[in-house]
Amino acid sequence: KQEVTQIPAALSVPEGENLVLNCSFTDSAIYNLQWFRQDPGKGLTSLLLIQSSQREQTSGRLNASLDKSSGRSTLYIAASQPGDSATYLCAVSRTDSWGKFQFGAGTQVVVTP
Amino acid sequence: SQTIHQWPATLVQPVGSPLSLECTVEGTSNPNLYWYRQAAGRGLQLLFYSVGIGQISSEVPQNLSASRPQDRQFILSSKKLLLSDSGFYLCAWSIVGGDEQFFGPGTRLTVL
């Protein structure tokens, strides 16, 4: 069974620092990996989707990398801002269960002014 | 553009009462639809998914059921709620052949 782990569970950084969020998974036979942001009491906002054939995706200040062989993905957020404070979740889907995501528990990020 | 709606936004129900949560998607046809639950201190758990009208797959045995009466409507139901059904329920959609999922605003359910 696929297990997805996000470490650390919580992270606090001063404004302007770069954020590095980690996601690890136990089964490398993944179809896709998706990063989400969740604000308190809200739904999930899709940030980046990395297909299994890709190594990274970029959107603005966000960059996500994928290393299937080591079972890891990293989300980088450059020059963090207080508005980046949220919980960040990663999710993976397997090649034999397309569309069914397994989620990590998330990393709660606080960016202090 | 596509949008996804869920209602109600919050719900407080007594144990043993019925439940009906609704999710609708606009701006796309024949989407895959998903119900997730996010319990306090736990990650998201996939409950049901649907690839078409009347086609429902359940991921975990439980007190809940799902139905898809129309192409862009997904309903989560229960005949008798349990305390353990409390949580944040999220509906999501993806296009057929695509894997990126898009989530609704969620329904906060408290069972007392």
Which pair of tokens denotes residue B91? 């509906």
What is residue A100's predicted lDDT score, i.e. its pLDDT? 82
B80: Cβ–Cβ under 8 A, 6 or more apart, which residues? B15, B16, B17, B18, B63
Q: How far is A32 from B19, CA to CA, in rounded Å?
A: 33
Which residue type sits at A72? R
> What is the structure's pLDDT at A77?
97
Judge whether B33 and B23 are in contact, CB under 8 Å. yes
Give the pairing of strands B102-103 and B87-94. antiparallel
CA distance B21 to B9: 9
β-partners of residue B91 are: B35
Chain B, nearest residue to A5 by Cα: B43
Residue A2: C-alpha distances to residues A21, A96, B70, B92 (Å): 19, 12, 32, 21
- In the DSSP assignment, the letter for residue B29 is S
Identity of the residue in A51, A99, A103 whose CB atom sits nearest the CB atom of B44:
A103
At residue B40, the pLDDT reads 77
Contact B103 A31 (CB under 8 A): no
pLDDT of residue B30: 92
Give the whole-number percent of chain A exceeding pLDDT 70: 96
Per-residue pLDDT of chain B (112 residues; tens, 9 = 90+): 889 999 999 999 999 999 999 999 999 999 999 999 998 777 899 999 999 999 999 888 688 999 999 999 999 999 999 999 999 999 999 987 667 899 999 999 999 9
pLDDT at B97: 67
Q: How far apart are CA A31 and CA B26, in angstroms?
A: 26
A31/B100 Cβ within 8 A? no
The half-sphere exposure of B31 on its side-chain side, counting CA atoms within 13 A, is: 24
Asked if B91 and A45 touch (Cβ cutoff 8 Å), the reply is: no
Q: Which of A91, A111, A95 is nearest to A6 (CA)?
A: A91
Whole-angstrom Cα distance, residue B22 to residue B51?
17
Average pLDDT, chain A: 93
Q: What is the DSSP string of A22-76?
A: EEEES-S-EEEEEEEEE-TTS-EEEEEEEETT-SEEEETTEEEEEETTTTEEEEE
- What is residue A30's predicted lDDT score, i.e. its pLDDT? 83
* pLDDT for residue A34: 95
pLDDT value for A19: 96
CB-based contact B49 A41, cutoff 8 Å: no
- The string of pLDDT tens digits covering residues A78-106 is 999 999 999 999 999 876 666 788 999 99
Mean pLDDT of A52-76: 95
Tokens coding A54: 């890709």
Find the CB nearest B100 among A46, A104, A106. A46
